[in-house]
Amino acid sequence: MASQMTLEQLERQIAQLPPHEQLKLIARISEQLSSEPLDKLVAGEEPSLQQRMREADEILALCDAAARMWRGQFDAVEDIRRMRQARDEQIWPGGDG
């Protein structure tokens, strides 16, 4: 049975290889990883990335649901203008602002 090797031990052994052998190793590793599905590679590396992607999908679904609740046309510029006018009237009652 093969003994378990840490990443640091492996790095030390790789550093002992001549540069052309290190390049061959990189090519082999790259080839192996290129054939793996991306979700499998991400799943083993960082589970929080998958969770963040799920959360982002949930937030987008909530935004879509909220957008479906409003009907009609909206003018954001006009809405902001009205809010500013209301604020100005609170600050300067009866004035031209």
In the prediction, which pLDDT does 43 show? 57
**For residues 11-26, b (16+ Cβ closer than 10 Å) or e, as one string?**
eeeeeeeeeeeeeeee
In the prediction, which pLDDT does 16 show? 93
pLDDT band at 1 (very low <50, low <70, confident <90, very high): very low
Cα dihedral sign, 19-22-28-32: negative
pLDDT band at 84 (very low <50, low <70, confident <90, very high): very high
In the prediction, which pLDDT does 30 show? 83
Of residues 86 and 69, more confidence is placed in 86
In the prediction, which pLDDT does 41 show? 59
Q: pLDDT tens digit string along 24-80? A: 888 888 888 777 776 665 655 555 777 888 888 888 888 778 777 777 777 788 888
